[in-house]
């Protein structure tokens, strides 16, 4: 049955409870008596159970304890620095013969031990003193015990007084043995100890040898664990007697060895239950290492306490890892691992009883230790074995899958469209596939293998193969290397080769794949040209312009480079009135004209649209200015003819000398652009040199800041949709009529009006992206509010000239209608009068497309232009929005009233509705209604508000 969370919790609590019980029970057990009677049947007794305990200052002698001047306490103090524990017991021989006895103390790490055998008058019969670290080579080896031999005659009564001064545990088993009985005990204990150490030696060797064969980490760390256990038992049962100098550091030594054991078991746990997260794996090392450091840094007593207190929690942590990260396909391994730790907890309880209670190493105790230790190690070993068997099964399954894949690979090899081959590093061809034969002009594989003596025949230049093999030997593989090859009939072609070197039992072989890239190679030159040149004019493009300027700046020439930025004047007139085809022809002519007018060392590039850039190298500023003048005169003298129309042009030129070492190529281009902008602003068709102190530069920089703000708002979705309602004046309000407006939210939360950023957006041709954002987000909002959409009569969206001229914009809008399922008759597109007139061709095409689908169109700000009436009848407009300049002062200016009335009459005659803008009062609204205006819009109707907060009129 798999482990459950409840089972894990119960097991964890049970282990901790067992450990806590053993520790607390052992510490609390103490006995107070004062006399031990022996006779001929006596074999062994624990002195602790029949003794009196006294605590005195460490300077007091046994006489001071026997005859104290003041009462002595019997409790063992927490302060061990200045006190000594005295143990007193009367021994009486009630037998009829002399009995040889041996006093046995199973501890060699006592700082100072004094033993006195006194007669009835408190005179010393025999005494013994032992101090840890100084050694007593008279002690019997290999047992870690202090022994004092003496005899009691019949009816003899003596007092045994033992003084213990130690900074560790002062409570330990003291036993009294009949001499022959202890000899038998020694023999039995020696045999059992040999069995335990022998078992650990065998297990260490087994796991180490099996690791060398199987190379599984768990076996290696199990070998190390067994070795650590061997060292622990050896130190506990013989090492201290062999090396007495270690007795002063026995607690620390044991703590370090036990910590090392936990570390090695942590590695076993990691091998059995992977993947355990890194943090938890580090914790399995940190806990025992921390325990060892704490033990080393404290007293012997605290070290012992830390050792016994921390060990069960570390063990429980390993069990928790086994429960949490168990292998669901190998539950038996997790169970065995858990049982192993159960035996460890039981072993821990035994050692607690030995360390704190009146228990010494008897044969049954050693047998229990041996059994628990063996069971624990066997369970862990079997868990590892099961884990490896499961891994072997998985490996076998993977091998079968690999064999299947090899068959599949062979099929792919035969049927691949790429030429595949295998050869030796010397060039001897071993295998080819049909595609390889076809690629090099051979009829079949056998013929190719017979005729190709060396793969050098594949290469038009045999040295190419030597270079390829050299690179292969250096890096191990070559990817997509394009090389000129030779077919069987001697014709040359280009192929791309990818290959690598692999080792097998027969040696090193080269595995390669080849594809024909002749067509690609032939087009590479044109692609490279396209990457660096403008496709329309043939001059360099902006990217190459920036790259070249960056290279010139890095040369640190004594004569700094000079950059010109040229912007054609009146180009838009040609483009808008004669179409894109005429504009493209004009740009090509201008590029050719500029190229002819420049010296050979100058670089000309088309930056964008009707803007060009020039880089002068090694030319003084004065000469560069003269060249700029030459360009200006050449463009000014040029005449462009198209369809019986002749156009004259001009050019505004910005100039910058690259003297600032910290400025980049992009910054210099921006400086030249700013100077060009100033030249255009000052009347066009002139040259202006950049100066960072010009106010125009600051103004242009401000526009660049707005460009960045607009780009950020688009990418971060910081535009907001507002709406302003329209109120019907000629009929009751039968639904929602409103115009969608745009606001930008700055990063500081400030709301920006469109008048602040739209002019910049138009100059830098960002309006199309903004219009697309408005359409998508408006349609999305309508789609998410179906009840609102059902009540909607007309939603007006503004479009700009760049959107109407964009060839993809119409398709984008059509897709948006379909994507968001918006009825066409709900949407009205607005455009200002000047845009509609200038972009007449594109405007009419766009309007007719969406008119047929059901959309309506409104002409915004009507009446501002001079040719309004003339163009109005040619545009398929449904609504005329009268310019607000006529509305706002209409009540005080009869001329405005006449203008509004005139526009209304013309619109009605053409079947169009009218909207009065800038309505700021009820009186104006009433007057417009009386005049026959259909709708009113303005603050007098309602102020703009967030579309998300829509409220009907």
pLDDT of residue 249: 63
Higher pLDDT, 70 or 638: 638
Same domain, 686 and 773: no
CATH code of the domain containing 772 = 3.20.20.450
Averaged pLDDT, 180-198: 82
pLDDT of residue 13: 46
Instruction: Look at residues 446, 57, 370, 72 and name the one whose alpha carbon lies nearest to residue 198.
Output: 370
Give the helix, strand, coil percentages of the chain, each rounded to 5. 55, 20, 25
Same domain, 579 and 667: yes
Same domain, 722 and 647: no
Higher pLDDT, 427 or 299: 427
Instruction: Look at residues 74, 34, 32, 30 and name the one whose alpha carbon lies nearest to residue 54.
Output: 74
Averaged pLDDT, 782-797: 96
Higher pLDDT, 909 or 367: 909
| Domain-ending residue, one of 522, 551, 577 | 522
pLDDT of residue 596: 94
Q: Output the pTM of the full model.
A: 0.39
CATH code of the domain containing 462 = 3.30.450.20
**Cα–Cα distance for residue pair 899/452, rounded to 1 Å:** 93
Quick check: is 445 in a domain? yes
With beta carbons less than 8 A apart as the criterion, state whether 908 and 927 touch.
no
CATH code of the domain containing 172 = 2.60.40.2380
Q: Residue 892 carries which DSSP code?
A: T
Same domain, 730 and 828: yes
**Cα–Cα distance for residue pair 688/682, rounded to 1 Å:** 9
pLDDT of residue 240: 52
* DSSP three-state, residue 947: helix
Quick check: is 321 in a domain? no
pLDDT tier at 21, thresholds 50, 70, 90: very low
Same domain, 681 and 781: no
Domain range enclosing 92: 28-182
pLDDT of residue 742: 96
Counting the structural domains of the chain, the total is: 4
Quick check: is 848 in a domain? yes
Quick check: is 35 in a domain? yes
Quick check: is 195 in a domain? no
pLDDT of residue 20: 46
Same domain, 820 and 865: yes
**Cα–Cα distance for residue pair 570/572, rounded to 1 Å:** 5
pLDDT of residue 236: 67
pLDDT tier at 865, thresholds 50, 70, 90: low
pLDDT of residue 139: 60
Pick from 253-262, 652-661, 768-777: least confident: 253-262
% the chain with pLDDT above 70: 87
Task: Tell me the pLDDT tens digit for each residue of 441-462.
Answer: 998 888 898 888 888 888 988 8
Non-local (6+) Cβ contacts of 596 within 8 A are none
Same domain, 518 and 576: no
pLDDT of residue 597: 94
Per the DSSP assignment, residues forming a β-bridge with 655 are 564, 689
Quick check: is 301 in a domain? no
Residue-averaged pLDDT of the chain: 83
Task: Tell me the pLDDT tens digit for each residue of 254-285.
Answer: 778 888 888 888 888 888 777 888 888 888 88
**Cα–Cα distance for residue pair 470/464, rounded to 1 Å:** 10
With beta carbons less than 8 A apart as the criterion, state whether 468 and 478 touch.
yes
pLDDT of residue 357: 62
Pick from 47-56, 509-518, 591-600, 918-927: least confident: 47-56
| Domain-ending residue, one of 158, 182, 206 | 182
Reply yes or no on whether the pLDDT at 527 is more than 50: yes
Same domain, 763 and 903: yes
Same domain, 797 and 895: yes
Same domain, 618 and 679: yes
pLDDT of residue 866: 44
Averaged pLDDT, 35-50: 85
Instruction: Look at residues 345, 353, 330 and name the one whose alpha carbon lies nearest to residue 375.
Output: 345
pLDDT tier at 6, thresholds 50, 70, 90: very low
| Domain-ending residue, one of 182, 204, 222 | 182
Quick check: is 216 in a domain? no
pLDDT of residue 794: 96
Q: Integer distance in angstroms from the first to the last C-alpha of the chain? A: 71
Quick check: is 252 in a domain? no
With beta carbons less than 8 A apart as the criterion, state whether 834 and 772 touch.
no
pLDDT tier at 210, thresholds 50, 70, 90: confident
CATH code of the domain containing 633 = 3.30.70.270
pLDDT tier at 135, thresholds 50, 70, 90: low
Same domain, 656 and 746: no
Same domain, 863 and 893: yes
Tokens of 934: 């259909």
Non-local (6+) Cβ contacts of 550 within 8 A are 664, 665
Task: Tell me the pLDDT tens digit for each residue of 474-495.
Answer: 887 877 788 899 998 988 899 9
pLDDT of residue 696: 65
């Amino acid at each position: 049955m798999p482990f459950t969370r409840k089972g894990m919790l119960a097991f964890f609590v049970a282990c901790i409870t067992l450990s806590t019980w053993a520790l607390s029970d052992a510490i609390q057990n103490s006995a107070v008596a004062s006399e031990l009677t022996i006779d001929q049947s006596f074999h062994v007794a624990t002195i602790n159970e029949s003794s009196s305990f006294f605590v005195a200052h460490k300077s007091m002698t046994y006489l001071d304890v026997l005859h104290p001047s003041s009462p002595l306490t019997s409790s063992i103090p927490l302060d061990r620095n200045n006190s000594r524990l005295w143990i007193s017991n009367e021994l009486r021989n009630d037998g009829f013969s002399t009995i040889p006895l041996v006093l046995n103390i199973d501890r060699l790490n006592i700082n100072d031990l004094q033993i006195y055998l006194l007669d009835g008058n408190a005179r010393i019969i025999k005494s013994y003193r032992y101090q840890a670290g100084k050694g007593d080579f008279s002690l019997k080896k290999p047992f870690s015990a202090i022994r004092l031999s003496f005899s009691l005659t019949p009816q003899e009564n003596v007092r045994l007084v033992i003084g213990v001064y130690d900074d560790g545990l002062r409570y330990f088993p003291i036993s009294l043995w009949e001499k022959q009985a202890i000899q038998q005990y020694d023999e039995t204990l020696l045999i059992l100890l040999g069995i335990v150490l022998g078992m650990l030696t065998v297990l260490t060797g087994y796991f180490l040898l099996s690791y060398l064969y199987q190379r599984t980490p768990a076996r290696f760390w199990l070998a190390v664990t067994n070795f650590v256990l061997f060292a622990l038992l050896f130190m506990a049962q013989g090492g201290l007697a062999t090396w007495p100098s270690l007795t002063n550091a026995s607690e620390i030594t044991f703590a370090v060895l036990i910590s090392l054991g936990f570390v090695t078991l942590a590695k076993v746990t990691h091998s059995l239950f992977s993947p355990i997260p890194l943090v938890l794996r580090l914790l399995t090392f940190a806990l025992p290492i921390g325990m060892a450091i704490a033990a080393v840094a404290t007293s012997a007593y605290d070290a012992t306490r830390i050792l016994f207190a921390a060990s069960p929690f570390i063990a429980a942590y390993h069990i928790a890892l086994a429960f949490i990260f168990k292998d669901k396909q190998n539950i038996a391994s997790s169970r065995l691992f858990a049982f192993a730790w159960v035996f460890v907890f039981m072993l821990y309880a035994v050692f607690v009883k030995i360390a704190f209670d009146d228990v010494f190493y008897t044969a049954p105790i050693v047998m229990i230790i041996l059994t628990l230790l063996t069971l624990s190690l066997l369970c862990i070993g079997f868990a590892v074995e099961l884990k490896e068997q499961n891994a072997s099964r998985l490996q076998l399954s993977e091998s079968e899958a690999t064999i299947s894949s090899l068959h599949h690979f062979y099929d792919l090899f035969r049927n691949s469209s790429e030429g595949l081959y295998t050869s030796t590093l010397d060039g001897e061809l071993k295998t080819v596939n049909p595609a390889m034969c076809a690629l090099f002009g051979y009829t079949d594989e056998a013929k190719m293998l017979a005729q190709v003596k060396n793969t050098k025949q594949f290469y038009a230049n045999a040295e190419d193969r030597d270079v390829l093999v050299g690179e292969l030997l250096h890096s191990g593989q070559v990817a997509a290397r394009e090389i000129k090859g030779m077919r069987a009939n001697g014709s040359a072609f280009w192929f791309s080769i990818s290959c690598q070197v692999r080792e097998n039992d027969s040696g090193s072989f080269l595995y390669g794949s080849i594809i024909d890239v002749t067509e690609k190679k032939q087009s590479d030159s044109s692609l490279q040209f396209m990457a660096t040149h403008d496709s329309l004019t043939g001059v360099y493009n902006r990217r190459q312009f920036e790259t070249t300027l960056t290279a010139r700046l890095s040369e640190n020439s004594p004569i700094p480079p000079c950059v010109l930025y040229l912007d054609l004047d009146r180009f838009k007139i040609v483009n808008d009135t004669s179409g894109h085809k005429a504009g493209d022809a004009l740009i090509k002519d201008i590029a050719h004209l500029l190229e002819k007018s420049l010296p050979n060392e100058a670089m000309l590039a088309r930056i964008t649209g009707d803007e060009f850039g020039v880089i002068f190298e090694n030319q003084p500023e004065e000469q560069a200015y003269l060249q700029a003048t030459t360009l200006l005169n050449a463009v000014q003298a040029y005449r462009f003819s198209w369809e019986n129309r002749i156009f004259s042009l001009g050019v505004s030129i910005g100039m910058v000398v690259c003297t600032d070492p910290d400025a980049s190529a992009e910054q210099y281009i921006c400086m030249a652009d700013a100077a060009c902008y100033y030249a255009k602003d000052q009347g066009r068709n002139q040259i202006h040199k950049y100066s960072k102190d010009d106010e125009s530069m600051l103004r242009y920089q401000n526009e660049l800041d707005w460009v960045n703000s607009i780009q950020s708002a688009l990418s971060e979705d910081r535009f907001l949709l507002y709406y302003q309602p329209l109120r019907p004046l000629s009929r009751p309000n039968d639904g929602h009529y409103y115009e969608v407006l745009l606001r930008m939210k700055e990063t500081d939360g400030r709301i920006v009006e469109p008048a602040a950023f739209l002019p910049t957006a138009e100059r830098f041709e960002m309006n199309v992206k903004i219009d697309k954002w408005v359409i998508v987000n408006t349609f999305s909002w309508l789609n998410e509010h179906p009840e609102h959409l059902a009540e909607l009569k007309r939603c007006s969206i503004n479009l700009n000239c760049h959107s109407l001229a964009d060839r993809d914009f119409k398709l984008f809008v059509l897709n948006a209608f379909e994507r968001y399922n918006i009825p066409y008759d709900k949407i009205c597109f607005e455009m200002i009068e000047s845009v509609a007139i200038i972009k007449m061709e594109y405007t009419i095409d766009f309007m007719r497309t969406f008119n047929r689908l059901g959309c309506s169109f409104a002409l915004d700000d009507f009446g501002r232009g001079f040719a309004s009436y003339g163009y109005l009848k040619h545009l398929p407009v449904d609504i005329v929005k009268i310019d607000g300049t006529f509305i706002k002062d209409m009540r005080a200016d009869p001329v405005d009233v006449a203008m509004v009335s005139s526009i209304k009459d013309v619109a009605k005659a053409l079947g169009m509705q009218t909207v009065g803008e800038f309505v700021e009062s009820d009186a104006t609204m009433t007057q417009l209604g009386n005049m026959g205006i259909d709708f009113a819009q303005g603050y007098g109707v309602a102020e703009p508000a967030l579309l998300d907060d829509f409220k009907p009129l």
